[in-house]
Amino acid sequence: MNLRPDPTFHATPKLAMQAPAETLAFTLMLSPDASQPDGLAVVDVDPASKSYGRIVHQLLMPHKGDEFHHFGWNACSSSLSPLSGHAFLERRYLIVPGIRSSRIYVIDVKEPLKAKIHKIIEPEEVFARTGYSRPHTIHCGPEGIYVSTLGGGGPEGTDGPPGIFIMDCESFEILGRYEMDRGQQEKHYDFWWNLPRDYMVNSEWGLPPQFENGLVPEDLLSNKYGHRIHFWNLRQRRNVQTLDLGANHQMALEIRPAHDPAKDHGFVGVVVDTTNLQGAIFTWRRKADGEFEAVKTIAIDPQPADPADLPELLKGFGAVPPLVTDIDLSLDDRFLYVSCWGTGEMRQYDVSDPMKPKLTGTVEIGGIVKRKAHPNGKAFGYGPQMVEVSRDGRRVYWTNSLYSTWDDQFYPGDRGGAMVMAHAGADGGLTLAEDFWVEFPKGYRSHQIRLEGGDCSTDSFCYPSV
Amino acid sequence: METGGAATGLWGAVVASGVYHGVNPGMGWPLAVSAALMERRPGALWRAIGALAAGHLAAMAAILAPFAALLVLVERQREIRIGAACLVIGLGLWLVANRRHPRFLARVAPARLALWSFLAATAHGAGLMLVPIYLGLCQVSQNDAGHAAASTLMAGDAGVALAVATAHTLAMTLAGGALAVGVHRWLGLRFLSKGWFNLDLVWALSLVLVGSVSLAAAL
């Protein structure tokens, strides 16, 4: 227990932007064939350091086959609300779930270069206490640590719908399911919230049989993946509204609410529109009467391609879909970053007017057909995927793997994990940093990035920036 | 003269504990700043402070009322004071040993500030801290009254309870309100992370202290 709040807790997004820049990043490494244990890489991102852009510490797990994907902190800036009563927690532990194994690791990174495993929660405990499986997104919130899951019970994860469970933020004990009334929610993926306004939003990917062994083309073409978002009364744990984005908008993934809690809008990315292969962003917002609405505000076109250049899955279409697999919003809620994993683009949109996004920057790297190399000459292997933005909004980091079995369908063969960074201009514009390229150990792919002291997809704020 | 001094000291403790609760962010003043910023009107700050005060007052009254009723048993005053002192010490020791925060508080909707304030004050023993002080004040006033009728004493004790709860809450509200206005207008929210100290242990120990002083006086 600290005597003062953790210096990385900030009352407002604006204060967080003024905090010192990150010097380290934590990136998940996964072994796609489970031949090696998954791990956590500590990456030096301090340009003044000799080991800039290199992995300076690796922590490998004692088990294999976990498939690391997303992860999060035990505590964030939301602790600064008296309502949650956790003001003196330390931002010290990374909660890392294995989405294939359902095992959860709690990693102590108080001394990042000596990162160590603090606790392991075995899959059996997750199943027994929650009836859920395949833990995914982590957020620290009012009642502790919230963990979304992709699967229900049973070996296939189809015994009952997936949902969220809560862990104690000090003992890391699993307390139980979150939902009291889930309404129509029967698939899950990402979730986030507006804490003072007391609502949560969650999205839908697909059920485990739809993703664990690869994308199921028949399910996609018959629009069987998730296409709805659900709004919840956060503290009553009740689904209050379900919005259907349209069945053709397959796989509604990342939820990014405005960080400033005085704003009542947010974004959600849609991987693919099955009518035209476009990728899409919807802006959702709460109207004056308290109801929510969602409007498509960005559509990204597929690129025509010679079937000979396409993997089996896409040959019939003669085009590469953008595949919007991740999005991230800067802390000032001004720039939205959109990963187009298929075409190999990282796009930057000015969303000052959230209903009218303007494209302000694009970096091309990788891509199924274009295969654009990094300025340093190295091949990026896949496309831009998990994206993380620095607190000050000036550096944008991303990695290249989506999910082991899906990587293999869209980008056959083993192409190596990578992490790159681009500089963002104060008023827009995105340029790849030529001197930043993180090489991962052989056989490993790279997934989500967390920045030391918090980043744009971890911290929730309880006070407006004004 | 001596009883007057004791009474002044005890009233001082009532006000001081109010200020102590008021400036502690954990008792809610940051929520008033948040309300003013969220609604973009300074008036929202006062409405939030009012709701927090109402909850706090109710928590104080809810704890003091049973003791006011117990004091009818004039012959048992000493036992009541010893019992109350032990209760306060016990809660203090329990809070020293168990440093976890009550999780049910996080289930209260942010809009229900009065309810939250009531529950937060009750859960942390803010009301209980006042009990030994209150019992001391009742004793002082009874000594002054001499051998008055029981009904008069009872009315007097209830009046003291109300006065204690009100004075304490007023001090708490003024202190918390001043800080909320200061942060909203001048200091900015950076003050929140700079000026918030972990008083959990101090708080628990102050319960033990208040209880011990009162126990010593009763014995």
Count of all residues that appear for chain B in the document: 219
* Predicted local distance difference test score (pLDDT) of residue A221: 95
* Predicted local distance difference test score (pLDDT) of residue A82: 93
Give how far Cα A341 sits from Cα of A33, A302, A325, A366, B128, Å: 21, 12, 6, 8, 60
d(CA B164, nearest CA chain A) in Å: 25
Query: Does B198 sit within 8 Å of A4, measured CB to CB?
Result: yes
pLDDT at A224 over 90: yes
Q: Which residues of A touch B198 (CB under 8 A)?
A: 1-4, 87-88
Nearest in space to A392 (alpha carbons), one of A9, A13, A4: A13
Nearest in space to A93 (alpha carbons), one of A202, A201, A190, A6: A6
ipTM over 0.85: yes
* Predicted local distance difference test score (pLDDT) of residue A84: 86
Helices (H) and strands (E) in chain B, counts: 9, 0
Q: Which residues of A touch B116 (CB under 8 A)?
A: 83
Residue in A144, A168, A196 closest to B38 by CB? A196
* Predicted local distance difference test score (pLDDT) of residue B144: 67
* Predicted local distance difference test score (pLDDT) of residue A97: 98
Query: Does A1 sit within 8 Å of B99, measured CB to CB?
Result: yes
> Across chain A, what does the average pLDDT equal?
97
Contact B190, A11 (CB under 8 A): yes
Contact A133, A126 (CB under 8 A): yes
pLDDT at A328 over 60: yes
Is B26 or A329 the better-scoring residue by pLDDT?
A: A329
User: Which residues face A68 on adjacent strands?
Assistant: A98
pLDDT at A50 over 60: yes
Q: What value does the mean pLDDT take over residues A404-416?
A: 96
Residue in B28, B34, B200 closest to A462 by CB? B34
- What is the CATH T-level fold of the domain A13-451, as seen in this structure? Methylamine Dehydrogenase; Chain H (2.130.10)
Q: What value does the mean pLDDT take over residues A40-69?
A: 98
Cβ of residue B110 closer than 8 Å to a chain A Cβ = yes
* Separation of alpha carbons B103 and B122, rounded Å: 14
State both tokens at A214. Answer: 């690869």
Cβ of residue B218 closer than 8 Å to a chain A Cβ = no
For residue A431, give the H/E element and its range. Answer: strand A430-439
d(CA A49, nearest CA chain B) in Å: 29
A341 backbone dihedrals φ, ψ, rounded to 5°: -70, -30
Cβ of residue B26 closer than 8 Å to a chain A Cβ = yes
* Rounded percentage of chain A residues whose pLDDT exceeds 70: 100
Say which residue the tokens 């790159």 belong to: A420
Residue in A12, A88, A464 closest to B198 by CB? A88
User: For residue A168, what is the nearest residue in chain B, using CA coordinates?
Assistant: B103
* Separation of alpha carbons A346 and A322, rounded Å: 10
Q: What is the DSSP letter of A195?
A: T
Contact A365, A382 (CB under 8 A): no
Strands A55-60 and A72-73: unpaired
pLDDT at A17 over 90: yes
* Predicted local distance difference test score (pLDDT) of residue A88: 92
| Residue A22 burial by Cβ neighbours in a 10 Å radius (0-12, 13-18, 19+) | buried
Q: Which residues of A touch B111 (CB under 8 A)?
A: 198
Say which residue the tokens 């993180």 belong to: A438
From chain A, which residues contact B within 8 Å (Cβ)? 1-5, 7, 9-12, 15, 80-88, 142-144, 168, 170, 195-198, 235-236, 261-262, 462-464, 466
* Separation of alpha carbons B87 and A173, rounded Å: 31
| Residue A354 burial by Cβ neighbours in a 10 Å radius (0-12, 13-18, 19+) | buried
Q: What value does the mean pLDDT take over residues A215-222?
A: 97
Cβ of residue B41 closer than 8 Å to a chain A Cβ = no
Residue in A2, A82, A197 closest to B25 by CB? A82
Stretches in chain B below the pLDDT threshold 70: 1-3, 74, 144-151, 153-154
Maximal CA-CA distance, chain A: 63
